[in-house]
């Protein structure tokens, strides 16, 4: 019930802000630097190493803040290259009526086709002020890529988004 309530809350927040603006697609350099993030947040870097291995690392650093996805979550990511990762963000909407400024990191599953409207993926929404994870979802696209369903990320037994990797 708690998971459903949290998901509904996030969807309600998104619904209020979805009409107001579009997220910006952000550049991520080979070293993980994200030069499009305004300097007021500090240097931003996405570190992704070892995708598909036993010890993948997914870490977001924003200024003095950092969040590392627990190993049990990082192992769920099916992306195998930087081409299968998209980062978007927003820092120009009204935070008092919607989400805080954020980064949305999407890891596409194998078979990702940028020409399709929808691709299966895992998405992680982070607060741009403190790099904390706001929400995580899984999206399962239809085989035709013309729709799908997003649900809260289902974690393996014993896995917790708040645990250290």
The pLDDT tens digits for 110-159 are: 999 999 999 999 999 999 999 999 999 999 999 988 999 999 999 989 89
pLDDT of residue 4: 45
DSSP E strands in the chain: the ranges are: 24-26, 44-49, 57-62, 65-68, 85-90, 102-108, 121-127, 133-141, 148-152
Residues near 120 by Cβ (< 8 Å), separated by ≥ 6?
108, 109, 111, 139, 140, 141, 148
Contact 114, 49 (CB under 8 A): no
Helix (H) or strand (E) holding 4: helix 2-18
Contact 70, 161 (CB under 8 A): yes
Q: pLDDT digit string (tens) for 36-84?
A: 999 999 999 999 999 989 999 999 999 999 999 999 999 999 999 999 9
Q: Indicate whether this model's pTM tops 0.75.
A: yes
């Amino acid at each position: 019930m708690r998971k459903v309530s949290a998901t509904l809350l996030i969807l309600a927040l998104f619904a209020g802000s979805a009409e107001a603006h579009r997220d910006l697609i952000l550049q991520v350099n080979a070293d993980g630097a994200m030069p499009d993030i305004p300097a007021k947040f500090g240097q931003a870097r996405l570190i992704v190493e070892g995708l598909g291995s036993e010890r993948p690392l997914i870490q977001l650093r924003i200024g003095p803040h950092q969040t590392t996805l627990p190993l049990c979550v990082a192992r769920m990511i099916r992306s195998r290259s930087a081409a299968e990762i998209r980062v978007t963000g927003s820092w120009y909407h009204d935070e008092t009526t919607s989400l805080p400024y954020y980064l949305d990191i999407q890891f596409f599953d194998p078979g990702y086709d940028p020409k399709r409207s929808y691709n299966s993926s895992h998405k992680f929404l982070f607060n741009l002020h403190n790099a904390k994870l706001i929400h995580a979802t899984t999206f399962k696209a239809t085989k035709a890529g013309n729709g799908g369903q997003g649900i809260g990320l289902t974690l393996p037994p014993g896995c917790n988004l708040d645990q250290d990797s």
